[in-house]
Amino acid sequence: MKQSVSLITLGVSDYEKANAWYAALGWQPVLEIEETAFFQANGVVLVLWAREKLAADSGIAYDGARWGGIALAHNVASAEEVDAVIERAREAGGTITREPSETFYGGYAGVLRDLDGHAWEIAHNPGLGLAADGSVTLRRRGAVSLRHPAPRAGVGCRELRGQSIYRFGARPGSAAPSFRRRPMTSPASSGLFV
């Protein structure tokens, strides 16, 4: 199976109220069909659908609303944006379960629940990259990104978007790190998200 998520469907108890709540936060559906709203969210589609219809379609007994141990995250570019989103959610009737505050990872975040109890973390994480469209970019462990100087002889290096990318790991049978070249044909196939 390819490592990807295409759609996230949130089962809602009242479609009209849920759709209005997300609209109050600035979300606009791209498509609405038979009381189902589809929101384009970067490369993923968020869907609102009646909870009982979702349960029936999934072959799961509908036993009312309870938290399933899943939290969605919406990353923003600053602590001020975290505060603004949390306040908009509060004004629209959302429940704030964790007021915005500094986090253990050096960021700033708060958590809210929508009208159906779905948990959303609103976060500013300076350790993650954030593209203009809201996409989060990750840096892989074990990858060091340096801008020049040129690599030493024998050290594998490739240019990717103007950065020299070095990969390192332990030599077989040794605890000492060794640099290794890894073929990189494109950012998507490289395993690096920069």
Q: Which residue would you say has higher pLDDT here, 83 or 43?
A: 83
The answer to whether 1-60 and 69-137 have equal CATH topology is: yes
> Distances from the Cα of 72 to the Cαs of 119, 146, 151, in angstroms?
6, 33, 40
Is there a cis peptide before residue 151, judged by omega within 30 degrees of 0? Answer: no
Domain 1-60 superfamily per CATH: 2,3-Dihydroxybiphenyl 1,2-Dioxygenase, domain 1 (3.10.180.10)
The residue count for the chain: 194
Q: What percent of the chain has pLDDT over 90?
A: 44
Q: Which two tokens stand for residue 29?
A: 């559906």
Sheet of strand 31-32: strand arrangement:
7-12, 44-50, 36-41, 31-32
What's CA 179's distance to the chain center, in Å?
30
pLDDT, tens only, 167-176:
333 334 444 4
Residue 177 pLDDT exceeds 60:
no
Residue-wise burial string across 134-146, b where 16 or more C-beta atoms lie within 10 A, e elsewhere: eeeeeeeeeeeee
Domain spans of the chain, in order of start: 1-60, 69-137, 141-186
The dihedral built from the CA positions of residue 61, 65, 69 and 72, taken in this order, carries a sign that is positive
> Residues 31-65: pLDDT tens digits?
998 899 999 998 889 999 998 888 888 787 777 66
pTM: 0.63
DSSP H helical ranges for the chain: 15-24, 51-58, 79-91, 187-190
Residue 23 · residue 17 · CB < 8 Å: no
The predicted structure's pLDDT at residue 141: 57
81 with 130: CB under 8 angstroms? no
**Chain segment 100-138, per-residue pLDDT in tens:** 999 988 999 999 999 998 999 999 999 888 888 888 887
61 neighbors 71 (Cβ within 8 angstroms): no
Q: Does domain 69-137 have CATH number 3.10.20.440?
A: no
